Chain A
Amino acid sequence: MSNLHTLSKAPSFSLLDTCLSIIQAGDAVLFIEDGVYHCQQSTELLGNSEVKFYCLREDLIARGLIVRNLDVIATVNTQGFVDLCVQHDGIVNWF
């Protein structure tokens, strides 16, 4: 059973630490809405190589971050969001 974790709040809400503390190998984290601000400060969180990180492209564009996104986080569009939902068995929302 793999899960897609969507995270929709800025880093100041400190949700990511809690999310990563219960995450399993093979899970993925998708930053959406204000969650995309995580792409600004990501180097230490990417240490967990068993988890893939994604950012929703539309939300990066809206917030002026598309030019600032670090190469280490993949971006997906809304279609990619749907694909991720289908690829995983379940979805966990962090908000």
Chain B
Amino acid sequence: MSEINSSKTVSIISRQAPYGSNRAQQSLDIALAAAVFEQTVNYIFMGDGVYQLLGNQNATSIQSKTLVNALETLDLYGIESIFVDSQSLRERNLIPKDLSLKASIVSRDEIAIIVRASNSVFNL
């Protein structure tokens, strides 16, 4: 059987706050799984998803794992394309300095381009 190049671009749009639901954790699981299978991954934080990146989180107070620590593993899995929607930050009175993860602050237009260039998009 001939080998085919099956690498595709997968974009994940994470739109929910951490801890209130498991969607933020599931977004991360999808990203890490895709990276293990050597897909190109874009990770986009929009809406309440930007709350995942706040510094000083400590979820031991609610018997959970601190999500932002897990997000730091994205880099270890070779996921470097991390984007944050600037409008979502603005709407929540947040500034880039509040974020504890290295990420590119982008406009909605730039997100549209990323989504269009993706083979598949997970939106949760």
Contacts and interface: CB of A to CB of B under 8 A. Distances in A.
Contacts of A62: 19, 57-62, 64, 66
Interface in B54-76: 54-62, 64, 66, 68
A57 B62 CA distance: 10
Contacts of A33: 19-20
Kindly state the interface size class of chain A when it binds its partner.
20 to 34
> Of residues A11, A12, A57, A65, which shows the largest number of chain B Cβ atoms within 10 Å of its Cβ?
A12
Interface stretch (A18-26, A34-42, A85-93): A34-42
Interface string B1-41: 00000000000000001111000000000000000000000
Given A58-B62, A62-B58, A63-B57, A34 B20 contact: yes
| Interface bracket on B | 20 to 34
Contacts of A61: 58, 61
Given A10-B17, A10-B20, A40 B58 contact: no
Contacts of A66: 56
Contact of A9 (B20, B47, B68): B20
22 contacts: A8-B20, A9-B20, A11-B92, A12-B47, A12-B48, A34-B17, A34-B20, A37-B92, A40-B93, A57-B61, A61-B58, A62-B57, A62-B59, A62-B60, A62-B62, A62-B64, A63-B18, A63-B54, A64-B57, A64-B58, A64-B68, A64-B100
Interface of A: 8-12, 33-34, 37, 40-41, 57-59, 61-67
Interface of B: 17-20, 47-48, 51, 54-62, 64, 66, 68, 92-94, 100
